[in-house]
A and B are shown apart, each in its own frame.
Chain A
Amino acid sequence: MTDLTASPANAAAPRPSSLLTLDARTKRRNAAEARFRMMGAIAVAIAVLALVGLLVSILGNGLSSFRQTHVTLEVFLDPAKLDKAGDRDPAKIAKVTTFGYAPLIQAAMQTAIEKAGATTEGVNAKQAAGLISDEAAATLRRFVMAHPERIGETLSFPMLANGRVDGYFKGRVTMESAALDRNISPEQLQLADKLRAAGVIEMKFNWGLFTAPDASDTRPEAAGLGVAILGSAYMMLIVLVLALPIGVAASIYLEEFAPKNRWTDLIEVNISNLAAVPSIVFGILGLAVFINFVGLPQSAPIVGGLVLTLMTLPTIIIATRAALKAVPPSIRDAALGVGASKMQSIMHHVLPLAAPGILTGTIIGLAQALGETAPLLLIGMVAFVREYPGAPPEGFFDPASALPVQVYNWTQRGDPAFIERASGAIIVLLIFLMAMNIIAIILRRRFERRW
């Protein structure tokens, strides 16, 4: 008050201001306002750009992995080489190693080149066969072992092309880089071009990416996600079977029965803390307790599933409690009023009404668990696994890989073809996650009731 009365001098001099023209101070304030708003918009733009950049980078690197270069050859299954005795005895055929099959492929390649008129200077028979993956001989051998009666026939086989040839058609390998490469020469690539024009080499959808097991460092073209997808599926099954009942039971107790005392406080604090414990710490727990103490095998889906269960529990408990809380007390009161016990009111009325919320939370928890990598590294799931795990429940104890771990594994390898595979695997992982989240959203939209 005193301030106002003490400054009559200012008030006496009327400022030439109008509401219609902005004075300097208002302009400054308005500019500050616009700047602030701009900063907000920029922040949103940065986040959206980051998302777009992330997706573009992954898609750009990975989409090409869904197509793979195949070489289709007419292979003569020469009885003189595969079955000298001629009695089709599987034990004797098995004695012919993969190396014994290489000449067949080499010969088939020569015939194909001659038929296509693609003879190229500076490429000998061995180099021409080098266009084909080393994996092809093993595949051929497996076929012959399964069908010994077809020895002597000439059959058309689609075979994987070498990773460099595949890279050449996808633009990853160029003539210049091939000149410096020990594994491929520019002449071989010229031959590949001619064969492609003749239709011997073609790009096909890469089913192997989804079904084949991992392959060694030198055969990126043969590496697939089969074992990893199966391992991840096993782990999700374990997480679902363990985490859902335990999580729901714990939430029912905490939300509906628990008295307010020290013990329940302790449980609550524990749950909120577990939700924030770094995932790698759960990996250490799994290593120390499940592997070293209990003696479960390394790399097994059962250990991964248990670790991920412990990690997912807090998420499921928090979601379930929110869903239980959302059921209005009038439902409980009505049930109790007609003579139901407390357990009956919950099991028969509250729980079914909360089920969509619980399922949504569970799916989101599972999606989190599916993408989790760090704890699985510690329990040995990085190991190179080529064998498919058996059928459950024994299969839970067989070594397996997991989708995100397979991605990590491939990024640690030398050949750039593995980066393409890793990005492809990420796309597969993201599609799974997207599907799970969409199911969760649909469930929520369809069944969620608002009171």
Chain B
Amino acid sequence: MSVGLIALIVLGMAVVGYVIGRSRSLSLAASQDRRLHSLPSYYGQAVALFTAVPALLVLGAWLFVQPIVVETRVSEMIPESAIPEGGALSLVMADVRRIAGGLDALMTSAGLSEGDLARMSAETTNLRERLGGVGVALGSDVSAPVFEAAKAMRAANNAGSLAMTIAVLALALVAGGYMLSRVSPDMRARNISETFVKALLIGASTVAILTTAGIVLSLLSETINFFRMYPATEFFFSTVWNPQFRGGSELGIIPLLWGTFYVSFVALLFAVPIGLMIAIYLSEYASKTVRSLAKPAIEVLAGIPTIVYGLFALITVGPLLRDWLAQPLGLGNSSSSVLTAGLVMGIMLIPFVSSLSDDIINAVPQSLRDGSYGLGATQSETIRQVILPAALPGVVGAVLLAASRAIGETMIVVMGAGAAAKLSLNPLEAMTTVTVKIVSQLTGDTEFASPETLVAFALGLTLFTFTLGLNIVALVIVRKYREQYE
């Protein structure tokens, strides 16, 4: 039975449980001539919740755990000899998984019965060809232990899903029935269902923690795998980035970090002064009409997806800079360059910087302004000598937040900065960044157990650490600063 169907049945049972629970509470109250503790709908709600929630939770957990259990059991079946020279168990297991999945398709297309499958063996049938016929492509011929393992995996999967169906439906029946049996006018149905709902709310709020844990654990575990295959010192201190899918790659992070910081620096150089000046102009100088026109325009800039900026860099800014700046100056002839990506990223960051600075400038108390005007300062003198120094910590926080966005930005650099890992000062040359390399190492058909793929996780962890650090520092600064004037 498919998972969706099971879930639908459970939900249907919950609806039935609601109706029965509600009517049972009413009929009991009428027959015993007593008042109900709670409103009748709460009795129905309690039954429905007990029917649906535990069963669905078990369903989710089962889907998560079953593949892991089956994998470990099946992988024990594969002898050392079945693993090809220089290969890994995980590759063999990938084949096993694919064959197991293909067997079902094979059975339906060829009309085989379970008995036919049990008699089928790797020696007598050309499995590779037959599986290829149903759309399961295999890299090599199927050996006997692998085929046996695949058969075992298929059997275990089928048994598992049958057990899951029974367990989930039984749990829904038992838990719902238990609650139904407890329905009586004395039962504190509202308290029970409210406690239950509150538990659900708490569960929902832990999703954020689970996400962070998932990010950190997945990054860490794969990074550790990577450092088992590739020395950490080489990764952190080598200045050469040259992945070779035949092996013998050099995976030094330094050129990538250099590109990342260079692009981010150019972007901030462009975005911070402009964003800050926009915030100042709009909050201190602009007339109402200018404000009502310019502010939405800048907010639109904030709502545009980064892929649009990427395309802008690729088809407009890149060629423009190449034809008017790079080639006349003889500094390069590639349309993707640090300056292209930096400029476009700067445009993306303008609304971010300006709205943060706007908040911060508005948070400076009016009394400071009035004091300054009272001493005869002009508006710009007040801004430069009173407001900005007072707002400085907040502005620094905003710049750090913008820097963290710039470092983590992907599409603009993928489409605008280029793919060559270089250590160069020339901003009109193509360079590459950490995020570009994460994308290029993880897209396309690559074996998952090679250092060339796993390096992406180490890069991801580096990126995550940098942005997390910047965010925390920025938040601390902004929070401290806010307290100062509250």
Contacts and interface: CB of A to CB of B under 8 A. Distances in A.
B209 A267 contact: yes
B378 A408 contact: no
A271 interface: yes
Interface stretch (B49-57, B230-238, B307-315, B422-430): B307-315
B136 to A, nearest CB: 13
Main secondary structure of the interface of B (DSSP, over half): helix
B211 A310 contact: yes
A257 B307 contact: no
A382 B411 CA distance: 13
A335 interface: no
B464 interface: yes
* Chain A at the B interface: SS class: helix
Interface in A111-168: none
Given A47-B274, A250-B208, A294-B67, A426 B308 contact: yes
A252 B201 contact: yes
B305 A36 contact: no
Nearest to A436: B303
B435 interface: yes
Interface string B317-332: 0000000000000000
A289 B281 contact: no
Interface string A358-396: 000000000110111110011010100000000001100
A337 interface: no
B311 A50 contact: no
Interface in B264-297: 273-275, 277-278, 280-282, 284-286, 290, 294, 297
A362 to B, nearest CB: 15
Given A280-B460, A371-B305, A433-B303, A274 B201 contact: no
Contacts of B414: 374, 408
A372 B305 contact: yes
Nearest to B306: A373
B33 to A, nearest CB: 24
A341 interface: yes
A22 interface: no
Interface string A321-345: 0000000000000000000010100
Interface in A11-43: 29-30, 32-33, 35-37, 39-43
For B190, B278, B457, which residue has the most chain A Cβ atoms within 10 angstroms?
B278
Given A280-B408, A288-B457, A393-B4, A378 B208 contact: no
Contacts of A404: 305, 307
B304 A278 contact: no
Contact of A37 (B63, B380, B457): B380
A356 interface: no
A314 B208 CA distance: 8
Most chain A C-beta atoms within 10 Å of own C-beta, residue among B190, B310, B411, B456 = B411
A61 B297 CA distance: 21
A48 B285 CA distance: 17
Contacts of A371: 304-308
Contacts of A206: none
Contact of A47 (B286, B301, B415): B301
Interface residues of B, number: 92
Contacts of B415: 408, 411
Contacts of A295: 67, 97
Contacts of B64: 294
Nearest to A369: B305
B200 interface: yes
Given A51-B301, A377-B443, A408-B411, A273 B307 contact: no
Given A273-B212, A313-B207, A378-B443, A57 B305 contact: no
A246 B443 contact: no
Interface string B427-469: 0000000010011001100001000000011001001100110
Given A281-B464, A373-B411, A36 B380 contact: yes
Interface string A40-73: 1111101110110110011001000000000000
Interface residues of A, number: 88
Interface stretch (B75-83, B139-147, B158-166, B213-221): B213-221
Interface string B376-393: 001111011000000000
A234 to B, nearest CB: 14
A36 B284 CA distance: 11
Contacts of B411: 373-374, 408
B471 interface: yes
B305 A278 contact: no
A272 interface: yes
B250 interface: no
Contacts, number: 259
Nearest to A54: B312
B375 interface: no
Nearest to B219: A284
A258 interface: yes
A249 B277 contact: no
A281 B408 contact: yes
B377 to A, nearest CB: 9
A279 to B, nearest CB: 7
A58 B212 contact: no
A92 B323 CA distance: 58
Contact of B202 (A30, A40, A253): A253
A435 to B, nearest CB: 12
A423 interface: yes
A426 B410 contact: no
Given A44-B294, A249-B205, A294-B64, A407 B463 contact: no
B201 to A, nearest CB: 4
Nearest to B4: A393
B484 interface: no
A270 B204 contact: no
B273 to A, nearest CB: 7
A47 B350 contact: yes
Nearest to B194: A343
A354 interface: no
A430 interface: yes
Interface in A427-451: 429-430, 433, 437
B439 A250 contact: no
B192 to A, nearest CB: 12
Given A278-B467, A371-B307, A44 B290 contact: yes
Contacts of B405: 276, 278
Contact of B401 (A48, A253, A276, A382): A276
A337 to B, nearest CB: 18
A54 B347 contact: yes
Contacts of A273: 212, 468, 471-472
A278 B347 contact: no
Nearest to B346: A50
Given A267-B205, A287-B442, 20 more contacts: A29-B378, A33-B380, A36-B379, A42-B277, A47-B351, A51-B300, A54-B308, A276-B401, A278-B405, A279-B408, A279-B410, A288-B457, A313-B207, A343-B194, A368-B305, A374-B439, A382-B443, A404-B307, A423-B315, A429-B305
Interface of B: 4, 63-64, 67, 97, 190, 194, 197-198, 200-209, 211-212, 214-215, 218-219, 222, 273-275, 277-278, 280-282, 284-286, 290, 294, 297-298, 300-301, 303-312, 314-316, 347, 350-351, 354, 378-381, 383-384, 401, 404-405, 407-411, 414-415, 435, 438-439, 442-443, 448, 456-457, 460, 463-464, 467-468, 471-472, 475
16 contacts: A250-B204, A250-B205, A253-B204, A253-B205, A279-B408, A284-B442, A310-B211, A313-B208, A317-B208, A371-B308, A373-B305, A373-B411, A407-B307, A407-B311, A411-B415, A422-B311
Q: Which 6 A-B pairs have the closest CB atoms?
A: A278-B408, A371-B305, A40-B281, A288-B218, A249-B204, A43-B277
